[in-house]
Amino acid sequence: MFFQHVYEKGLAMGSYVIGCQATGEAMVIDPKRDIDTYLDIASKNKLQITHISETHIHADFLSGSRELAEVTGAKMYLSNEGGPDWQYEFEHVSVKDGDEIKVGNLSFTIMHTPGHTPESISLILRDKPASSEPVMIFTGDFVFVGDIGRPDLLEKAAGILGTKEEGAKQMFQSLKKFNTLPQFLQVWPAHGAGSACGKALGAVPSSTVGYELKRNWAFQFGSNENDFISTLLNNQPEPPKYFAMMKRLNKIPRKLLCEVPEVKQLGKDEFLTIYKQGITVLDTRSKFEFAKGFIPGSLNIPNNGAFSNWCGWMLKYDKPFIAIADPACINDIMRKLMRIGLDNLIGFVADINTPGLLLDQYTPLTIEAFEKAVNTKAAQIVDVRSFSEFTNGHIENATHVFLGTLEDNLDKISKDKDIIVHCQAGDRSSLAYSILRKNGFKHVMNFIGGMEEWKTAGNAVNM
């Protein structure tokens, strides 16, 4: 048997290539959209991708199943569970609880595991020439390492009211199924630490049923369903705004993108023509480079591990945008964008000075200047971290406005005082700074050191 775990750090997402080396056939589970990764794996290992499956209709990335099927001719085996509202609306092979998918000498048994979503399935793998016992279970967003999938996304992100309590009840029942599996069974989920699909995902890529039964908080409630539901629904992280779009696009027919597009490098005149039309400028440089000089009105989303997430929060799916980016990084940037369906990047410039515009700039606040501002209450301190981060410790009198919703809450930002934004370590506050400047706030400062430097300096934190 061939097995390879493909992990994308930016979205904390895992996908899988499992092959029968005797017949040369392979299955891909939960593929990302830049499918060349799987084609390369198959080619190097003399496999043909013949089967594709998904554990559920994903909310956090745009699935590459249809692109992969288009290029390879493989069949897609997708859930037929969850009722009429949870059916995929494009051609596929429907599977239900108890069905078996054969890939050469391998077999995958479908287990319906609703809770995170109504149609969610897990796939139990058997390598039949070796043993009749199962060896792995691919749990999608059902059971993670140390956590389980959240049932509130349909309500919070997709606006389907009244679904989180029902989802939590379904999850409680699905966990009973998991409890009956062999304890030696390897558990391979669709996400790891950093994903917004749960609240406390472990950093290791896989686990076993036995380990999760002992260490995962979700299995410690016995028959107490009410306490389980209350704990599951409490303190879930804010779901990114783009999740609703992913839910829709992963269900319906859409335009396919079977290769990573080449992004055009723009000259001065091309850039200025586009810029003067009011098109968004996405500055992917670091917070420090951005502070030294930036194009007025641009958004600073550094090309780091959280890039996809914040682009999904801030960019419009129906609007084109241009980028400031290192040419050596533009392919990586395009991959991160296309993984969440942001296909409207129409060009980039490598040098911030290319357009010949008068640049804005600012000097980040030092810890001393920030301490003085806090003590004198001379400015409005705006903390743009998540709700849970804020409640776990914040600066006295700070105004909390979560970064993802900042543009919807500009009325909470003073027009009479100086404004100082901060987060944990500066990347999010740099984006917050750029949002406020783009929206006409002139007296804005950024404490890049954030709570990390504030606490290191021995300053007080309110709980």
Give the residue-averaged pLDDT of 353-369: 96
Statement: 268-349 belongs to CATH 3.30.1180.20: no
| Per-residue exposure over 288-308, b if at least 16 CB sit within 10 Å of its own CB, e if not | ebbbeebbeebbbbbbeebbb
299-313 pLDDT tens trace: 999 999 999 999 999
> What whole-number percentage of the chain has pLDDT above 70?
98
Q: What pLDDT score does 93 carry?
A: 98
Buried b (16+ CB within 10 A) or exposed e, 173-207: ebbeebeebeeebbbbbbbbbebbbbbebbeeeeb
- The DSSP output letter for 22 is T
CATH number of 367-456: 3.40.250.10
Tokens matching residue 71: 């290029």
Is the dihedral angle over the CA atoms 152, 157, 162, 163 positive or is it negative? negative
Residue 37: which H helix or E strand, with range?
Answer: helix 36-44
> Residues 240-254: what's their mean pLDDT?
93
In three-state secondary structure terms, 446 is strand
Topology classification of domain 2-249: Metallo-beta-lactamase; Chain A (3.60.15)
- Name the pTM for this structure: 0.94
In this structure, are residues 30 and 215 in contact, taking their beta carbons and an 8 Å threshold?
Answer: no
In the block, residue with structure tokens 């989802």: 167
State the Cα–Cα distance between residues 77 and 50, nearest whole angstrom.
Answer: 11
Per-residue pLDDT, 160: 65
Number of helices and strands in the chain (H, E) = 15, 20
In degrees, rounded to 5, the angle at the alpha carbon of residue 22 between the alpha carbons of residues 21 and 23 is 95
140-164 pLDDT, tens digit each: 999 999 999 999 877 766 666 668 8
What pLDDT is attached to residue 238?
82
* Fold match between domain 268-349 and domain 367-456: yes
Domain parsing of the chain, residue ranges = 2-249, 268-349, 367-456
Closest CA to 217 of 86, 394, 227, 167: 227
Q: Are 189 and 12 in contact (CB under 8 A)?
A: no
Which amino acid is residue 449, in one-letter code?
Answer: G
Closest by CA position to 399, among listed 416, 378, 380:
380
The three-state secondary structure class of 435 is: helix
Looking at every residue in the chain, the average pLDDT score rounds to 95
β-pair type (100-103, 106-112): antiparallel
